[in-house]
Structure 1
Amino acid sequence: MTEPSGGSGRPRRPVVVPAVALVLVTALGITALTGGLNEAPDAPPQLGKGSVLDQGLYSTRFVESRVRTERAQTQFDEDKRFVEMVFEVTNRGDGTTLVGVPPAEGKGAFATTFAGSLVKISPKFPSDAGPSAFALAKGGESGQLHPGIKTTVIVRYELKEGQKPPEKITMDVGSFEYAAGFNDPTERWTMVSQDAGESIVPEVKAQVTLPVQEEAAA
């Protein structure tokens, strides 16, 4: 007996599409509709000892990081040891600004001081270690940076007795722009910042790492 025309009469097998492929196709379709894949933000430039950074309001050279001992002035005092970060800073604005101090992590979005632009310093030091900051001026230390003058600035943390200093210091450094405020049309220097949900945080212009130079033996 001959078979009916049109084939062997056996049922055709269904085509099976793997679930992973379906998920991938769906995801790509959604991505295309929403404007493509989101790119990860670029990492800030990595700088080192001797680098110069244009911070807008300041031009800054990262000179070095070192350990320094201040000898006791009287028999009632004690020697003090510090980890110091040394900068050469030029105030590029029209008026005198303050040296300031590094802010608490995640803060400082509205600072205009130089040290206020050091938005994160690693490793983290204990709260009783500082920081303190000052400019070297004729006749001693100063808290001011005058326009157009290259000034040495020291930012430092005190080491406890017997404490070993870190091998390196890494700083997230912000920058400034001359622009009008959100609710004030007056143009002024402000920290370049970004919205981080419920708060405003400084943008990191560069990340600078300095090896900590041990103090020479006396």
Structure 2
Amino acid sequence: MTEPSGDRSNKPRRPVVVPAIALTALTVIGITALLGGLNEAPDEVEPLGQGAVLDQGLYDTKFVESRVRVERAQNDFDEDKRFLEVVFDVTNKGDETLPVGLPPEKLEHAFTSTTFAGSLVKITPAFDRDSGPFAFALSKGDETRQLHPGVPSQVILRYRLKDGQQPPDKVTLDVASFELTEGFNNAELEWGMVAEEAGERSYLPVIKARVTLPVKKGGTS
């Protein structure tokens, strides 16, 4: 969860940069110690696995599982379809109904999204566009593409597997989070993805957690 702060600026967070003049003032021993410290610094991205629960600010999310799902042909003119699915339990903590959304096609475009699937900013291994993704929620057994405030929903992210394509052994998700900040044109608080500057008028999402799920195989529907 994004730590609360008194700073309500509408600008995305900026990474800390050490001034070059400060580095040149260090002694040889100091530089060696500094570099050693950087090499030994732990990864700030939180590693999570199956069953983990993550507070994304705007969403409470449980990473349920990843699986292969087979949809059997309904008639002689149809064919079996195989999908790789990633399953989440998601609760929208905002005050408005929001779309389930889709993962971003490009990382640099991700920060504009406030949808749940939009926070899945990188998925490994990558799938080609013909495979999807498709994303929907289940409400009382029916498919929907909306997440209502305060209502727990199961969300499914799905990719179609081609004939003969073997599913991966695991799926890794880089997941972003959201925070309340002042709007650009007013002081009203709005949800926005936590991001940092990555060049002139460019922002990249800050990765809150990296989630790795083993892929279960053999499911049918």
Q: TM-score, normalised to structure 1's length? A: 0.80
1:142-164 Cα deviation digits (max 9, x unpaired): 00111111110000110001110
3-state SS of paired residue (1:161): coil
Letter in 2 for 1:130: G
TM-aligned CA deviation for residue 186 of structure 1: 2.4
Q: TM-score, normalised to structure 2's length? A: 0.79
Within-5 A mapping of 1:17-36? 30-32=24-26
1:110-132 Cα deviation digits (max 9, x unpaired): 10100000000000111110000
Q: Larger RCO: Structure 1 or Structure 2 (Cα < 8 Å, ≥ 6 residues apart)?
A: 2
Structure 2 portions without partners, runs of 5+: 1-20
Equivalence for 2:165: 163
Structure 1 portions without partners, runs of 5+: 1-26
3-state SS of paired residue (2:54): strand
Q: Is the 8 A contact 2:72 2:220 kept in 1?
A: no
Let me know the Cα RMSD of the aligned residues: 2.5
TM-aligned CA deviation for residue 79 of structure 1: 1.3
* 1:82 equivalenced with 2:76 (yes/no): no
3-state SS of paired residue (1:173): strand
3-state SS of paired residue (2:215): strand
TM-aligned CA deviation for residue 41 of structure 1: 8.3
1:180 equivalent among 163, 169, 182: 182
Instruction: Identify the range of structure 1 (52-61 vs 77-86) with the bigger mean alpha-carbon deviation.
Output: 77-86
Letter in 1 for 2:214: P
Letter in 2 for 1:208: V
* 1:52 equivalenced with 2:53 (yes/no): yes
Question: C-alpha separation between the residues in 2 aligned to 1:70 and 1:57?
Answer: 33
Letter in 2 for 1:206: A
Question: C-alpha separation between the residues in 2 aligned to 1:136 and 1:108?
Answer: 24
- Matched residue pairs, number? 191
TM-aligned CA deviation for residue 185 of structure 1: 2.5
Identical-residue share of aligned pairs (%):
57
2:207 equivalent among 182, 204, 208: 204
Question: C-alpha separation between the residues in 2 aligned to 1:120 and 1:31?
Answer: 39
3-state SS of paired residue (1:109): helix
1:70-122 Cα deviation digits (max 9, x unpaired): 12223322211000000000111111111001111412111010000000000
Equivalence for 2:218: 215
Letter in 1 for 2:216: Q
Equivalence for 1:22: none
Structure of larger gyration radius: 1
Letter in 2 for 1:32: L
Q: Is the 8 A contact 2:69 2:220 kept in 1?
A: no
